[in-house]
């Protein structure tokens, strides 16, 4: 949790508040992302505490300021993390439920060779460009 920022809008004269948080993912190689929650009502509604496991829906936007581009990552929905309903973008990284039945052992299939094996003593013909390899240089 980073310190909250706030101020008064120059356009409308209303007060605003922004809270920023750093989230760490549950992957083999965890990633960190800094996101923000805008508005006093949302900050109070989400009630994010350090150390919680959360599922966060975000919007990503970019804006230009004085020739440089800046990303904004803003949370629009925050809920307690539930591993049973989590959406995983990489199925290989999905956690395996503890109560999952063991899969029946099946014999491993041998992968098909992309080319037929060569016969002993037979060599591919050298290209007409000279040399025994097929490199173009």
- Residue 41 tokens read as 């009502």
SS (H, E, C) 9-78: CCCCCCEEEEEEEEEECCCCCCCEEEEEEECHHHHHHHCCCCCCCEEEEEEEEEEEECCEEEEEEEEEEE
Report if pTM > 0.75: no
Q: Tens digits of per-residue pLDDT, 81-94? A: 887 775 655 545 44
Q: How many domains does the chain have?
A: 1
Task: State the residue range of the domain holding 36.
Answer: 5-85
Would you place residue 16 in the very low, low, confident or very high pLDDT band (cuts 50, 70, 90)?
very high
Let me know if residue 70 belongs to a domain.
yes
Let me know if residue 96 belongs to a domain.
no
**Which CATH number goes with the domain that contains 34?**
2.40.50
**Would you state the pLDDT for residue 21?**
95
Let me know if residue 116 belongs to a domain.
no
Q: Tens digits of per-residue pLDDT, 67-116? A: 999 999 999 999 988 877 756 555 454 454 444 334 444 444 444 444 44
Strands, E, within 66-128: which ranges?
Answer: 68-80
**Would you state the pLDDT for residue 134?**
66
């Amino acid at each position: 949790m980073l310190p909250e920022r706030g101020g008064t809008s120059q356009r409308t004269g209303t007060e605003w508040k922004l809270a920023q948080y750093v989230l760490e993912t549950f992957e083999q190689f965890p990633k960190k992302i800094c996101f923000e929650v805008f508005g006093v009502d949302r900050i109070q509604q989400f009630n994010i505490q350090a150390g919680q496991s959360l599922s966060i829906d975000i919007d990503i936007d970019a804006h230009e300021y004085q020739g440089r581009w800046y990303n904004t990552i803003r949370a629009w929905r925050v809920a307690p993390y539930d591993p049973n309903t989590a959406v995983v973008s990489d199925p290989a990284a999905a956690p395996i439920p503890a109560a999952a039945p063991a899969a029946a052992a099946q014999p491993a299939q041998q992968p098909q060779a992309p080319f037929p094996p060569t016969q002993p003593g037979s060599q591919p013909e050298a290209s007409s460009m000279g040399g025994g390899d097929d490199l173009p240089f």
